Structures are given as structure tokens and as C-alpha cells.
Amino acid sequence: MRYDLPSDQIPTAWYNALAHLDEPLQPPLHPGTNEPAGPDDLAPLFPMALIEQEMTAAPWVDVPGEVLDILRLWRPTPLIRATRLEAELETPARIYYKDESISPAGSHKPNTAVPQAFYNKSEGITRIATETGAGQWGSSMAFAAAQYGIESKVYMVRASFEQKPYRRILMETWGSECVPSPVDDPSSPGSLGMAISDAVRDAGGRADTHYALGSVLNHVLLHQTVIGLEAKEQLALAGETRPDVVLSSHGGGSNLGGIAFPFMEDDKVRLLAVEPTSCPSLTAGEFKYDFGDEAGLTPLLPMYTLGSHFMPPSIHAGGLRYHGSSPIIAALVKSGRMEATAYPQSKVFEAAVLMARTEGKIPAPETAHAVRGAIDEALAAKETGEERVILFNYSGHGFLDLSAYDAYNHGQLVDEG
């Protein structure tokens, strides 16, 4: 029950959700002046090609051949029907998942790290500075930079740097320099906001260096639409007309946008975001302009936010501990086009273990939120006796997060609050 596309059917254009919103997005604002930020304000940090993608109204954006050459190392990714999970749930629903865990870094993040490294190199940039929490984004950027022969420096939140060495080792193996953040205070455990500040300061201070962000921004979500575009073709191979619901985990919105946007024009398809109850930006946040980081160095974006100083508890799904959301996802939730739901981590790990014992796959803690959402959609279909078609994104594997499973398996995983 696996649906593969041949390697020449990798999408050659990205789907631009900006061209299909009911109303145009409110513009980003300059953090100093509160005036709309233009291309010149972003130019010290990003290449012009990405700044254009951030604002373009073109419905499709071509994927450069040099990017396709690298994406082809693991794309197209498989679409799998989870028949053993369906049988265990005794549901009439059909559950499909898109397996993004097979990328070199083990998640969907290289889908955008590769084009970001490419556009930087094309504009003469030889070095990229970025931040990482638990290391998923940093390792994806280290891999992508290596493919184009450019340098990368990753500022990793100090607490993770010290407690979670494996993704640092991945980064170093791909040739990246990884340092603990904050750089100027070895006694601080650090935070994502501080690490962003370190990386932005590095990039701002050197002409050969740009900054790169792994989620939230429009161009990042654009690059991730290869996921949904492939899934659409693969569902057709499986004989499905359309999914009834498309869902995924929501941290900054990139893997959810990637799988969901190519379905957004079809009103019969429900779109659903799944987030942790401990960091509930879409389900309990306020819609307003907010900073992307804690230090207030990034432009202000219109989003659902818990406040840029919100300190989420240290749950295992580190990639979902973000105070805000992508402006496009926020607009879809605000207009009612997208739904959102939240779960505590005990319910999430219960679902992850069911997935492991039926389908064999051990999901990343972030991905396990999508698994929980898919299981509950399938159980709701069982209640009503409907043949619901469920599509979710399997955003990454959990092989470097086994200590979280150890805690759950031994009854030591607690829900906060």
C-alpha cells in the first residue's frame, strides 16, 4: 500500500498560497519604525530571489534545475496507506501519510534548506549563519550548504548543545561549525530567541554572510509545497478523488503549509493544524503583529502569537515550541478556512507508540502530533460510519529523540499544568 512517483515526476514549480488568499496579507513592519518593511530592509540578511518569493503574487514559482538535482537525492517521497493502523482502529477511514522522514537529515526541513543555500550561492554569498533549537533545522542547513560548497555556522541553544549531541555531530559531519548560544554568556541555557539574535548579528556584521530561517516566512512555506503537490498525484494513483481532511503538526507552519496549501482551493477538503497544549499559538494565541524572535530584531509579522517573550515548558517536541505562527497559516485560521486543535504530550506519545506497533514507524515527537490528529479523525469517522480519506504529513523520524520514548515507556513523561 505504497504509492511512489518516478524521479522525473518531482514538481518543477512551487505552489504559491499568497496568490490564493481571499485578502492580501498585511505587510511586515520594520522593527524600528513600525512602517511597512520593503526589500531594502531585508537585503542585508536574505538574497533578492528569496525576498521576491516572500512577496510575489505569481501563482507558481519555478524550481531551479540545480535545486531539483539535489532534491532528487530523496524526492519524490513515498505516500503510504496506513492499513495496519486502520485495522487496529477498526475504522472505515482510509489513512495516508506522506513520508518526509527519508531525507538525509530525517525531516521535511531540507526541502527549503536546499533552495535557500542555492539562492544565496547564486548571489555570491559564501557563508550562512543560522540558529537551531534541538538541531533539526541546523542539520538540514549544514547538509544543504555542503551540497553547494558554502560554509555554515549554526548557533545552537546551549541546553540542547549540551544535552543532545547527536544533531551537532550530524552538523559537524556535514562540515558546519556548531557553537552553543548565547555566545557571550556560558552560564545561560539559552533560548531560540537568543540564538536567532546571535545568528542575525553574525550575518549583519559580514558582507560574505546571510541569515536563513527554517519556518514561518512565506518563501519557506512555498518551498515546502513539493510535499502536497506530490501527495496529490499519489492520491490519484491510489484511486482517491480528494482527501476529506489534510492535517499536520504546527510549529511555525512550514510542514503543514507544505502539505495543505496545494489543496486549499478545493472547498471540500478540510485543513487542520495540530499543536501542543503547552504552546497553543493558533488555539489560544492572539491575532496581532508580533516579532519573530525574543530580542525584537526581526520584522513584525501579522500572526497568532502567545507573545514573543512566551517561554514554553520544555516539552519533547522542541520543534513545536514557537510562540507565533506563519502569517499565511494565521490568515487561513482567522478566515475559518483552516481548523486548529491541541493535545497534551501524553496523548501524543500514546498515538506515536500505536503508530510504531502497527506501521513500524517511530515518529519524531513533533510528527507524533499529526499522528494523534489523524487517529482522532479516523475514530470520528468510525463513530459516524464514514469512509473519510485522511492525509497527514509524516514530517520526521524519532531516531534521535529516543530519550523521550524512554521517558514515556517508563511512565516518566508528565503533562505540564
Ligand X SMILES: *Cc1c(COP(=O)(O)O)cnc(C)c1O
Give residues in contact with ligand X (CB under 6 A).
107, 109, 136, 215, 249-256, 319-320, 364, 366-367, 395-396
| Under 8 Å between Cβ of 370 and 393 | yes
The contacts of residue 256 (CB under 8 Å, 6+ apart) are 247, 248, 249, 250, 273, 329, 393
Instruction: Say which residue the cell 490528529 belongs to.
Output: 373
Q: Strands (DSSP E) along 192-317, which ranges? A: 209-211, 245-249, 270-276, 286-291, 300-305
Q: What's CA 198's distance to the chain center, in Å?
A: 22
Q: How far is the CB of 355 from ligand X (least distance, A)?
A: 14
Query: Of 136 and 278, which CB lies nearer to ligand X in the complex structure?
Result: 136
Which DSSP state fits 60? Answer: E
CA angle 74-79-80, nearest 5°?
125
Query: Of 107 and 345, which CB lies nearer to ligand X in the complex structure?
Result: 107
Query: Of 112 and 197, which CB lies nearer to ligand X in the complex structure?
Result: 112
AA identity, residue 369:
H
Query: Of 388 and 397, which CB lies nearer to ligand X in the complex structure?
Result: 397
Which among 116, 126, 143 has a CA at the least distance from the CA of 14? 116
Q: How far is the CB of 329 from ligand X (least distance, A)?
A: 9
CA angle 25-29-31, nearest 5°?
150
Q: Find the residue with minimal CB distance to ligand X.
A: 396
Q: How far is the CB of 187 from ligand X (least distance, A)?
A: 28
| Under 8 Å between Cβ of 276 and 317 | yes
Q: How far is the CB of 15 from ligand X (least distance, A)?
A: 16
Query: Of 180 and 258, which CB lies nearer to ligand X in the complex structure?
Result: 258
Which DSSP state fits 156? Answer: E
Query: Of 130 and 249, which CB lies nearer to ligand X in the complex structure?
Result: 249
Beta bridge partners of 291: 300
Q: How far is the CB of 367 from ligand X (least distance, A)?
A: 5
Q: How far is the CB of 34 from ligand X (least distance, A)?
A: 26
Summarize the chain as % helix, strand, coil (round to 5): 40, 20, 40
The counts of H helices and E strands in the chain are 17, 15
The three grid cell numbers given for residue 360, joined into one nine-digit string: 513500524
Q: How far is the CB of 215 from ligand X (least distance, A)?
A: 3
Query: Of 134 and 389, which CB lies nearer to ligand X in the complex structure?
Result: 134
| Under 8 Å between Cβ of 235 and 391 | yes
Q: How far is the CB of 291 from ligand X (least distance, A)?
A: 17
Query: Of 300 and 328, which CB lies nearer to ligand X in the complex structure?
Result: 328
